[in-house]
C-alpha cells in the first residue's frame, strides 16, 4: 500500500527515532517544517495503525507509535505487492526487466550484488522463475 505525502513524512520521523513516539512528539517534529494541526497528526497515526504500518502501545493516557517494519522492508513489500498484481508470469518478467532497465547504474549494481549474495547463500534460490516463489522450483534432473 502506497503512502501519501503526509504519511511518508510521519513515517520518516518514526523511522528516524530510536524509540516509539507520542502524537505530541511527532507533531513537534513535523511542526518544525510545516504548519499542521495536532489532530491531523493524531488522525494520520491512527490510520497508519489501522493499516498495520505502525504499532500502537499505551503509554499512560497517550499512545506511542513505532514503525511496524523497517523502511527497506516496507518498500520491498510495496514492490512485491505491485508485482503480485500482474497476473501472467511473462508480464511479471517484463515488468521486472522494465524496472531493472529504469534504475541507475549504482542501483543496478546493488541489485546484482544482492542477487549474487542470494545465490551464494541459498543455492538455487535465485534461479527460480519469476512466477514461482523462492524454494518452490524443482531441481533439474
Could you read off the pLDDT of 13-38 as tens digits, one per residue?
999 999 999 999 999 999 989 999 99
- What pTM, to 2 d.p., does this model score? 0.70
Question: What's the full length of the chain, in residues?
Answer: 141
Q: Which residue segment(s) compose the domain that 36 sits in?
A: 5-67
* 54/92 same-domain check: no
> Domain of 11: which CATH number?
1.10.10.10
30-34 long-range contacts, CB within 8 A, separation 24+: 34/9
Domain boundary among 21, 36, 67: 67
* 90/63 same-domain check: no
Residue 139: exposure state from Cβ atoms within 10 A (0-12, 13-18, ≥19) = exposed
Distance between CA 124 and CA 114 in Å, rounded?
14
Residue 51, CA distances (Å) to 4, 15, 108, 120 in order:
13, 17, 31, 36
* 13/63 same-domain check: yes
Q: Is residue 96 part of a domain?
A: yes
- Specify the pLDDT at position 24: 96
* 15/54 same-domain check: yes
Amino acid at each position: 500500500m502506497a503512502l501519501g505525502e503526509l504519511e511518508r513524512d510521519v513515517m520518516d520521523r518514526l523511522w528516524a527515532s530510536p524509540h516509539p513516539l507520542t502524537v505530541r512528539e511527532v507533531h513537534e517534529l513535523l511542526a518544525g517544517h510545516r504548519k499542521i494541526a495536532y489532530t491531523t497528526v493524531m488522525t494520520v497515526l491512527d490510520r497508519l495503525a489501522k493499516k498495520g504500518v505502525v504499532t500502537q502501545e499505551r503509554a499512560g493516557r497517550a499512545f506511542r507509535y513505532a514503525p511496524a517494519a523497517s523502511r527497506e522492508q516496507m518498500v520491498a513489500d510495496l514492490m512485491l505487492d505491485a508485482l503480485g498484481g500482474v497476473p501472467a508470469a511473462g508480464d511479471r518478467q517484463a515488468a521486472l526487466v522494465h524496472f531493472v532497465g529504469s534504475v541507475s547504474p549504482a542501483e543496478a549494481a546493488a541489485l546484482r550484488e544482492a542477487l549474487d549474495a542470494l545465490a551464494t547463500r541459498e543455492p538455487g534460490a535465485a534461479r527460480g522463475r519469476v512466477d514461482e516463489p523462492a524454494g518452490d522450483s524443482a531441481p533439474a534432473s
